[in-house]
Structure 1
Amino acid sequence: MSDNIFSGDIDPEIAELMGMEPQGSSDTTPDFSDLFDEGQISEQTVEVEQVDLNKTTFTPITKFQSDKPLPYFSEASFYKIVLSGEGEDAKRLHSLLSKFLNATDVKDKSLYRQKLIPAYWNVAASIAARIHGHLPEQKKYMFRYGFLIPTIVSKEQREMIARIIPENQTNEPVYYIDEWLKKIAIGAISASATDEVKAKQQNQGQRLTGQIEKARGHKEVQIGLIRSKMIEIESAEKLILAKMNDVMHHPQHERFPQVKLPYEASQRSCLGEIMQTVRRLQAMDKEISLFFRDLETADNQLEELLSKAGKSGNFSAVDSRTLQEEFNTVRQMAKMCVGRQGNHFPILMKQYLKPSIREIGTRENIIAEMTSIEHLDPGVFLRTFKRQTNRIVPYIVLVPCYGDKGICWEPFDRYNRATSRGRIALPMYPKDLRTAVLSAIADLRWQVAKEKAQHYWMEEGLTGHYYQWFIAQKIRGDVKEYFIQDYILWITKESEGTQKLDREVRGIFWRNMPFPQELKEELRKRGYVYNELYKKDINRSISDGY
């Protein structure tokens, strides 16, 4: 076959789609000799990611698109630059893409489409292997958005993509896949857990990242324990002061006004309580001294590990196997977001792309959706470990695929259950962005609750109560998938007073994933069922301090 695979008669519409001139004019498709020259890359370092436990809300989004569009997406050379230096994989992709776009028979087009999918991912894998280097911007954005060839995307859509804000200006853990893999490659974030990856297979940087994460978690746990114990101490001290005020009150004797009365029975009782509280304070003081000793040990260990990391260049030595495994994980995330019957075509095309930038899974749109969901489900990112509650937003990976749902890959890091982030993946081009985000949040909710209940997840807590209802209803299917759909209804319908859930499920959600108090008070006015749930809240608060 000739290198010029576009030779021959081509339908004018196909030629226009490919950005080619009509028959007889010059072919604008780059030659193979121009496409496949190898380039050089260099390394850079990134600091280790840390969780800010003081943040209580997402960063407000004031801009959803850039004022100045990037120039790359309308360049005639975009396709050529993307495939340059990618070897035989790029040649195969180039050939299959041409055949796919030129095919007129439906069966042929379907056949080339299926072959095109793995060919694209092979090129993406080649780019991913060098993601930590200085890649051309065109390669980075092909990897980030699935944007391969400008002429199969409309002019308006190209301008829309060009206005996506490229840099993370929010300081939130939301990453496009090129940013994510770069963090993994440098060691700023530990690789995602899989059944196949064993600890002994990790490179030095990844092992060190795991050790740092574990040490940081231990330190945060000790800080949390000290905070909790100090709250108890301060409460006990206030109690002593209140009791002492009662004890120090001595009214004058009625018959002998020149003298004051001794302690009354209630005051002697206060003295007994004070003595008990003092003994409790002494015990808590010993406990908190031990906590501080453990905190100093944990802090020293963390400092040693961070120093070791600094001397090693922030893990700048990249383990290619780790990076390849993470790329395969991201690809698996994309498959799960799309589902078996979904559109697995990985290349951005105009017929699959929404017309508005607010309908695309950009970083800013995702954060806006997360903010809205957290307002209705205030406890969604709260995690309690050893009586210390922290708000911990998961890592969010934006995958360029046409999936309809987001997924939770990990509820939290296996080395650090106290303060580590979970991991969720979201499709960039879903049919409905809010539904995709909600499905990921519901998945996170389920997995965190399941891990919290451990062996008793079918009996206790959110998962246990829901599972018992699920079994009682004799429903067939995946209980988690039913939970996800019900959670979506909980946030989208029930929060507005529209009753869509089973009565028992509504009670489970109201109890375990409560709306904010002001919304509860509003809903109780909207219907009898919500008013009854509100009354049960009051009864529980009286009986067991709920």
Structure 2
Amino acid sequence: MSDQELDPTIAALLAETQDSSRPTMSDAPISSFEPSPAVKNPFGQKENPADAGHKNVDLSITKFAPIEKFFEDEPAPYFDEPSYYKTCLTGEGQPAQRVHQVLSKYLTCTDAKDRTVYRQQMVMAYWELVHNMAPKMADLTLPKVKRMMMRFGVILPSLFSPEQKQLFSKVIMDNNTGEPVYYMDEWFKEIASGRLTLSATDEVRVKKSANDGGTAEQQHLMQLKSKNDGKLQSSESFVNAKESERQMIEHELLNRVNALCEHAVMIGLEPHRMPYTEMQRKLFGEIQEKLRALQKNDKELSGHLKELEEARSVAGSLEAKIANGPVNVEINKGDIDTEYNTVRQMAKMTVGRQGNQFPVFTREFYHSTPQGTGFRENVLKIMAWIEEMDPGAFCRIHKNTAHRIVPYVLLVPTYGDFGFCWEPFDRYNRITSRGRIVIPMYPRDLKISVLMAVADLRWQVAKEKASYYWMEEGLTGQYYQYIENQKLKGDLKSYFISDYVLWLTKEVNGVQRMDKELRAIFWRFVPFNQQKKDELKKRSVVYQELYQRDINRSMSDGY
């Protein structure tokens, strides 16, 4: 990607991370593709039981589980398969033939200008191949090498260096984290299976029939069902959260009651027992607080259960009407086509207009470290760190209660630097649905790419929450007024993303790079965790003043 496309602040941060001593990979032409006779594919795709849980939001989870394993101990044999290249392209028709022709010319070409032309042609040819393969990702018998091509952009293993081949062979293939982070092949698989809705889709597609009289009615019913599904999911999440809260309060109450009922024998006055101790008398107030909390919880739980019951009743009614309708509505190839176009647009956006759009993995362009490559576990580690520093990163406020909702994460195999948010939440369920962020897998600095995506998500959620008053209230209002006062021109969100990256790369370590007024906005609306605040206040008078403001606000009624 061209540095001119990046915000100057982010470009400078990326420059700081560049390792000038890192050797440049050779791009020596490869004249043969090792097309040995085809062998039976020994790899089968197994359904991961954890997949079903990724869509549901569990509001009782407060943080990411620590990643205990980043790579497998032993390399998998996928990239050593003699017929890898042939298996990748077999059965894919004209798009595969086109990829073979263009890739052959690109790798054997010695003229720089011609090589540039073939690079551009390869972009179109590759994405046509992806378009052809995307609907097949739901097929559990699909050869594993086709998934590797879709997941990592690896068409030809000989384009690896030996070290890169070893690295990618040790990548953990299955999602055992319980988090909604998907590689591209997994994303299309979830879309094709219906477990994941289309990205930024206006309507559910409806098959045409000879009699289109009922089509409009079916579309209306499907729209109502989508809205009700959002309400159903939201109610279910709230019920689960309130039940978990009730269980926790009851457990704490029971412990206190048991402690209250323990009386030691009064020495000299046996069998009489001691009166309440000073510690036990303090339990009276605590027990009353727990009872009040249970009373409040019960009222809220009753309301959510009623909403859940109504939503299920409406769902049953709508499903019955749809089943008796004149047309069948289902996830079909048209939906996969729609999502393919969306994902391709996402891939372009991670790279930028003047970036490296080349879609095939090659040592010529891959310069990331093992920890700096956008593998699932690496991305989750960075997201966990962001949430630790910025506890509100994935929180959404509803009725003055913060709900932690981790977004869907799509990992695209591009050489881009831009991470971004595609959707802050589902339009039919703004309360508990997951947003969608996109991360390039081969960036110059993975941490900055993930920070950009989280910043984008944070901005869009804050803006939607403030609604019509986004230029006046909350984070977006304060930031908008600051930018106006500075008389800065340009995209407001881009400014915020740049400042958020600065906040969590420099200011988090006490390195003062922000304007005083801007730092105060972030300190209040994008606060660090309490431990980090306590640490920073000891390092500088600047942070000490901000810390004191927190104390003053907490003592005021308007806080």
Match of 1:130 among 122, 136, 158: 136
Shift of 1:455: 1.5
Tell me the equivalent position of 1:151.
158
Match of 1:488 among 501, 506, 511: 501
SS of the residue aligned with 2:371? helix
Q: Is 1:18 the equivalent of 2:30?
A: yes
With normalisation by structure 2, the TM-score equals 0.76
Shift of 1:220: 3.8
Shift in alpha-carbon separation, 1:421–1:287, aligned structure 2, 3 A: closer
Tell me the equivalent position of 1:103.
109
Q: Is 1:160 the equivalent of 2:167?
A: yes
Shift of 1:155: 1.5
Tell me the equivalent position of 2:530.
517
Is the Cα contact below 8 Å between 1:337 and 1:407 reproduced in 2? yes
Shift of 1:18: 2.3
Is the Cα contact below 8 Å between 1:212 and 1:306 reproduced in 2? no
Letter in 2 for 1:191: L
Shift of 1:147: 0.4
Distance 1:282 1:370 in 2: 36
Tell me the equivalent position of 1:214.
231
Distance 1:173 1:448 in 2: 19
Letter in 2 for 1:537: D
1:147-296 alignment runs, 5 A limit: 147-194=154-201, 197-199=202-204, 211-221=228-238, 292-296=305-309
Is the Cα contact below 8 Å between 1:219 and 1:298 reproduced in 2? no
Q: Deviations over 1:318-357 (max 9, x none)?
A: 4111111111111111111111121111000002223632
Higher relative contact order (CA 8 A, sep 6+): 2
Shift in alpha-carbon separation, 1:305–1:173, aligned structure 2, 3 A: farther
SS of the residue aligned with 1:51? coil
Higher Cα Rg, which structure: 1
Match of 1:112 among 118, 139, 148: 118
Letter in 2 for 1:107: K
Tell me the equivalent position of 2:484.
471
Is the Cα contact below 8 Å between 2:459 and 2:476 reproduced in 1? yes
Letter in 2 for 1:341: Q
Shift of 1:286: 8.5
Shift of 1:137: 0.6
Match of 2:542 among 529, 532, 537: 529
Letter in 1 for 2:75: P
Is the Cα contact below 8 Å between 2:419 and 2:451 reproduced in 1? yes
Is the Cα contact below 8 Å between 1:51 and 1:392 reproduced in 2? yes
Tell me the equivalent position of 2:336.
323
Match of 1:437 among 450, 462, 470: 450
Distance 1:451 1:467 in 2: 14
SS of the residue aligned with 1:475? coil
Shift in alpha-carbon separation, 1:227–1:176, aligned structure 2, 3 A: closer
Distance 2:178 2:247 in 1: 31
Q: Is 1:51 the equivalent of 2:68?
A: no
Shift of 1:457: 1.2
Shift of 1:294: 3.3
Q: Is 1:68 the equivalent of 2:74?
A: yes
Tell me the equivalent position of 2:210.
none
Tell me the equivalent position of 1:267.
none
Q: Which runs of 5+ in 2 are unaligned?
A: 1-25, 40-44, 208-217, 249-291
Report which stretch shifted further, 434-443 or 465-474.
465-474
Is the Cα contact below 8 Å between 1:223 and 1:295 reproduced in 2? no
Shift in alpha-carbon separation, 1:200–1:87, aligned structure 2, 3 A: closer
Tell me the equivalent position of 2:474.
461
Distance 2:187 2:305 in 1: 36
Distance 2:302 2:46 in 1: 49
Distance 2:529 2:172 in 1: 32
Is the Cα contact below 8 Å between 1:225 and 1:387 reproduced in 2? no
SS of the residue aligned with 1:184? helix
Q: Deviations over 1:404-444 (max 9, x none)?
A: 02110011111111111000010110100100110000000
Shift in alpha-carbon separation, 1:309–1:174, aligned structure 2, 3 A: farther
Match of 2:416 among 403, 425, 428: 403
Letter in 2 for 1:80: K
SS of the residue aligned with 1:398? strand
Q: Deviations over 1:133-154 (max 9, x none)?
A: 1311111110000001111221
Shift of 1:306: 9.6
Q: Deviations over 1:343-393 (max 9, x none)?
A: 111000002223632111001001100111111001111111133321110
Q: Deviations over 1:53-98 (max 9, x none)?
A: 1111112111110112111213331111111111111111111111
Tell me the equivalent position of 2:95.
89
Distance 2:29 2:155 in 1: 13
Q: Is 1:386 the equivalent of 2:399?
A: yes
Q: Is 1:341 the equivalent of 2:341?
A: no
Shift in alpha-carbon separation, 1:363–1:76, aligned structure 2, 3 A: same
Distance 2:521 2:319 in 1: 44
Letter in 1 for 2:406: V
SS of the residue aligned with 1:544? coil
Is the Cα contact below 8 Å between 1:403 and 1:427 reproduced in 2? yes
Q: Deviations over 1:462-501 (max 9, x none)?
A: 1111111111111122111111110011011101100011
Is the Cα contact below 8 Å between 2:235 and 2:305 reproduced in 1? no
Q: Is 1:412 the equivalent of 2:425?
A: yes
Letter in 1 for 2:373: I
Q: Is 1:139 the equivalent of 2:152?
A: no
Q: Deviations over 1:212-246 (max 9, x none)?
A: 33322144457779999999xxxxxxxxxxxxxxx
Is the Cα contact below 8 Å between 2:204 and 2:222 reproduced in 1? no
Shift in alpha-carbon separation, 1:396–1:44, aligned structure 2, 3 A: closer
Q: Which runs of 5+ in 1 are unaligned?
A: 1-13, 21-26, 36-40, 232-277
Distance 1:480 1:283 in 2: 39
**Could you say what the CA RMSD is over the residues aligned between the two structures, in angstroms?**
3.8
SS of the residue aligned with 1:379? coil
Tell me the equivalent position of 1:8.
none
Shift in alpha-carbon separation, 1:18–1:414, aligned structure 2, 3 A: same
Shift in alpha-carbon separation, 1:428–1:304, aligned structure 2, 3 A: farther
1:346-365 alignment runs, 5 A limit: 346-354=359-367, 356-365=369-378
Identical residues among aligned pairs (%): 47
Shift of 1:517: 1.2
Shift of 1:185: 1.0
Tell me the equivalent position of 2:278.
none
SS of the residue aligned with 1:352? coil
Distance 2:60 2:533 in 1: 27
Letter in 2 for 1:461: G
Shift of 1:528: 1.4
Distance 1:316 1:65 in 2: 41
Q: Is 1:425 the equivalent of 2:431?
A: no
SS of the residue aligned with 1:121? helix
* Equivalent residue pairs, number: 467
Distance 2:303 2:62 in 1: 30
Q: Deviations over 1:149-186 (max 9, x none)?
A: 11122121111111110001111111101111111111
Shift in alpha-carbon separation, 1:321–1:530, aligned structure 2, 3 A: same
Distance 2:512 2:48 in 1: 53
Shift of 1:289: 5.9
Report which stretch shifted further, 482-491 or 210-219.
210-219
Distance 2:158 2:527 in 1: 49
Shift in alpha-carbon separation, 1:307–1:508, aligned structure 2, 3 A: farther
